[in-house]
């Protein structure tokens, strides 16, 4: 076996009408972010449309919600009414109830399935992209677990029965696109949904918020860790500092440099990583897809130094002899025994220089859209700040503490939140304590801070 980039495969991948194109999503899927503005998901109806699609697919139904008006008519025809007026009133009631559900008025778990994607052709593509990302990362490998959780929460009321009848089952399966890099996050999400299920009303209110939160944290961590190339950590989350919406900030606080400013800098030229990883995937030895830099490092650690050297040399050969044909001003880089980290960095830097700025801009704006749509706090001269509102904080604390009857030592709450991707500085922690105290969720065993416990919220 040879361990090289396949120059012909790369040529077939990048070349279009003799010109170099910065393609992606052939060998590795990284983030569900478009580079075309019309396809950007704006989440005008929140994240509930992605949750609705998830529950439909879990139940073997269509990805997209399609209301079957004939089924409502057949139910009406089979009913017994004392007058035509009563029949018409009942039909109007059902239609209005279904319309309310489609507008996100959800009172039962199965109502989620009647939430459609946005009625805009291009933006719908963006929402469907987020569905695939969320489903692949958090649901796919645990489908039976989630099916069991939600089947136990289903109702038997008439409206729910009509909803079940009014959809057409479809056994279509979706090929995996994205790979979960953080197994701890995936298992934590499953555990949190199980915890939420102990209080169905709370789950209905906060499930979409929780799904959104885990999506955003996964995206942010993928960006930060991929930027580390082979030094990426998949068993430890990078520190991303949030503020509380109720707080005032200052440049001296941790959030200023470790919050939204950090993410903006990390995403600024990240599109080049998507392309670089897909170029690397055109090699002579990969049988499956979705390899990130760390996957190559782990692979060559097992293959030995000779195989790694052969691969590294092929990277520099491709830069110096192939890529330069498309971009003659490319600086050639002599192979002088560079390690894998350096070779990947050189390849990324070389490719990054010729990515059009409008692509970088649209890509990064698509990422910032989800951050500012759901986590934005206006900070005046500080600009936009990454912050959690009260509902988000309560939901995360609720799953951190656990079901009714549980208590969590206050000092351990911060650890539980960090496991879920939320880091606070000491001032934000003090604000959270005030919130918990005001809501009577703090059990003070004594005057000692170590003896304080957070009560169960569920």
Residue 371 lies inside a defined structural domain of this protein: no
> Which runs of E-coded beta strand occur in 215-368?
243-244
Residue 56 lies inside a defined structural domain of this protein: yes
The pLDDT assigned to 108 comes to 85
Residue 183 lies inside a defined structural domain of this protein: no
The pLDDT assigned to 451 comes to 73
Task: State yes or no: pLDDT of 69 exceeds 90.
Answer: no
Of the pLDDT bands very low, low, confident and very high (cuts 50, 70, 90), residue 212 is very high
Question: Based on the domain organization, do 129 and 46 belong to the same domain?
Answer: yes
Question: Based on the domain organization, do 12 and 93 belong to the same domain?
Answer: no
Q: Which of 192-196, 210-214, 445-449 has the lowest mean pLDDT?
A: 445-449
Q: Residue 23 class from Cβ within 10 Å (0-12 exposed, 13-18 middle, 19+ buried)?
A: middle
Number of domains in the chain: 2
Question: Based on the domain organization, do 317 and 287 belong to the same domain?
Answer: yes
Write out the DSSP string of 341-355: HHHHHHHHHHHHTTS
State mean pLDDT over 229-247: 96
Share of the chain above pLDDT 70, in %: 87
pLDDT in tens, 418-455: 999 999 999 999 999 999 999 999 997 755 555 799 99
Segments forming the whole domain that contains residue 312: 7-31+270-355
Of the pLDDT bands very low, low, confident and very high (cuts 50, 70, 90), residue 37 is confident
Q: Diameter of the chain by CA atoms? A: 90
The pLDDT assigned to 168 comes to 54
State mean pLDDT over 125-136: 97
The pLDDT assigned to 87 comes to 64
Question: Based on the domain organization, do 61 and 21 belong to the same domain?
Answer: no
Residue 339 lies inside a defined structural domain of this protein: yes
Question: Based on the domain organization, do 21 and 105 belong to the same domain?
Answer: no
- Choose the final residue of a domain: 298, 320, 355: 355
What is each CA distance from 109 to 38, 48, 141, 150, 441, in whole angstroms?
Answer: 32, 12, 22, 7, 27
Task: State yes or no: pLDDT of 116 exceeds 80.
Answer: yes
User: Long-range contacts: 102-107, Cβ < 8 Å, 24+?
Assistant: 102/65, 102/67, 104/45, 104/46, 104/48, 106/48, 106/204, 107/204
Q: Which of 82-91, 157-166, 248-257, 355-364 has the lowest mean pLDDT?
A: 157-166
How many whole angstroms separate alpha carbon 445 and alpha carbon 80? 61
The pLDDT assigned to 159 comes to 60
The pLDDT assigned to 65 comes to 83
The pLDDT assigned to 215 comes to 98
The pLDDT assigned to 77 comes to 62
How many whole angstroms separate alpha carbon 117 and alpha carbon 368? 21
Residue 71 lies inside a defined structural domain of this protein: yes
Residue 301 lies inside a defined structural domain of this protein: yes
The pLDDT assigned to 163 comes to 57
Task: State yes or no: pLDDT of 177 exceeds 80.
Answer: yes
Question: Based on the domain organization, do 165 and 297 belong to the same domain?
Answer: no
Question: Based on the domain organization, do 130 and 23 belong to the same domain?
Answer: no
pLDDT in tens, 285-318: 998 889 999 999 999 999 999 999 999 999 999 9
Q: Are 331 and 382 in contact (CB under 8 A)?
A: no
Question: Based on the domain organization, do 17 and 96 belong to the same domain?
Answer: no
Q: In which element (H, E) is residue 442 found? A: strand 442-444
- Choose the final residue of a domain: 355, 375, 404: 355
Residue 46 lies inside a defined structural domain of this protein: yes
Of residues 172 and 9, more confidence is placed in 9
Share of the chain above pLDDT 90, in %: 76
Question: Based on the domain organization, do 309 and 342 belong to the same domain?
Answer: yes
Question: Based on the domain organization, do 75 and 127 belong to the same domain?
Answer: yes
Question: Based on the domain organization, do 69 and 101 belong to the same domain?
Answer: yes
> Which runs of E-coded beta strand occur in 216-329?
243-244
How many whole angstroms separate alpha carbon 115 and alpha carbon 63? 11
Q: Which of 6-10, 130-134, 165-169 has the lowest mean pLDDT?
A: 165-169
- Choose the final residue of a domain: 355, 382, 399: 355
Q: Mean of the per-residue pLDDT values for the chain?
A: 90
The pLDDT assigned to 369 comes to 93
Residue 12 lies inside a defined structural domain of this protein: yes
Of the pLDDT bands very low, low, confident and very high (cuts 50, 70, 90), residue 44 is confident
Of the pLDDT bands very low, low, confident and very high (cuts 50, 70, 90), residue 94 is low
Question: Based on the domain organization, do 60 and 115 belong to the same domain?
Answer: yes
């Amino acid at each position: 076996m040879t361990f090289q980039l396949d120059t012909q495969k790369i040529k077939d991948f990048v070349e279009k009408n003799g010109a170099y194109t910065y393609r992606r999503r052939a060998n590795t899927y990284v983030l569900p972010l478009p580079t075309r503005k019309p396809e950007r998901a704006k989440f005008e109806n929140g994240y509930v449309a992605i949750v609705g699609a998830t529950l439909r697919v879990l139940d073997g139904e269509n990805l997209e919600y399609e209301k079957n008006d004939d089924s409502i008519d057949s139910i009406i025809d089979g009913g017994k009414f004392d007058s035509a007026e009563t029949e018409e009133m009942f039909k109007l009631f059902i239609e209005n109830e279904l319309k309310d559900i489609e507008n996100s008025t959800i009172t039962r778990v199965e109502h989620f399935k009647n939430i459609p994607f946005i009625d805009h052709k291009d933006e719908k593509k963006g929402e469907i992209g987020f569905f695939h990302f969320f489903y692949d990362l958090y649901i796919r490998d645990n489908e039976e677990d989630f099916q069991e959780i939600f089947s136990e929460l289903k109702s038997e009321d008439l409206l729910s029965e009509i909803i079940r009848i009014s959809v057409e089952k479809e056994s279509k399966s979706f090929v995996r696109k994205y790979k979960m890099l953080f197994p701890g996050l995936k298992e934590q999400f499953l555990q949190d949904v199980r915890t939420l299920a102990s209080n169905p009303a709370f789950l209905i209110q906060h499930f979409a918020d929780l799904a959104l939160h885990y999506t955003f944290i996964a995206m942010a961590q993928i960006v930060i860790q991929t930027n580390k190339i082979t030094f990426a950590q998949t068993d430890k989350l990078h520190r991303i500092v949030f503020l509380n919406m109720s707080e005032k900030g200052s440049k001296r606080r941790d959030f200023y440099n470790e919050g939204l400013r950090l993410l903006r800098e990390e995403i600024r030229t990240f599109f080049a990583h998507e392309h670089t990883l897909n170029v690397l995937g055109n090699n002579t030895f990969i049988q499956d897809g979705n390899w990130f830099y760390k996957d190559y490092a782990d692979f060559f650690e097992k293959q030995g130094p000779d195989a790694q050297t052969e691969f590294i040399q092929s990277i520099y050969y491709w830069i110096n002899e192939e890529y330069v044909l498309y971009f003659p001003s490319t600086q050639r880089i002599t192979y002088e025994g560079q390690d894998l980290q350096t070779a990947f960095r050189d390849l990324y830097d070389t490719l990054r220089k010729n990515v059009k700025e409008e692509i970088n801009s649209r890509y990064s704006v698509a990422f910032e859209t989800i951050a500012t749509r759901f986590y934005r706090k206006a900070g005046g001269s500080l600009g936009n700040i990454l912050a959690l509102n009260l509902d988000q904080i309560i939901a995360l604390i609720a799953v951190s503490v656990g079901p009714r009857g549980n208590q969590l030592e206050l000092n351990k709450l911060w650890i539980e939140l960090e496991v879920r991707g939320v880091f606070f500085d000491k001032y934000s922690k003090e604000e959270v304590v005030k919130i918990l105290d005001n809501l009577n969720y703090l059990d003070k065993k004594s005057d000692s801070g170590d003896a304080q416990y957070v009560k169960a919220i569920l």
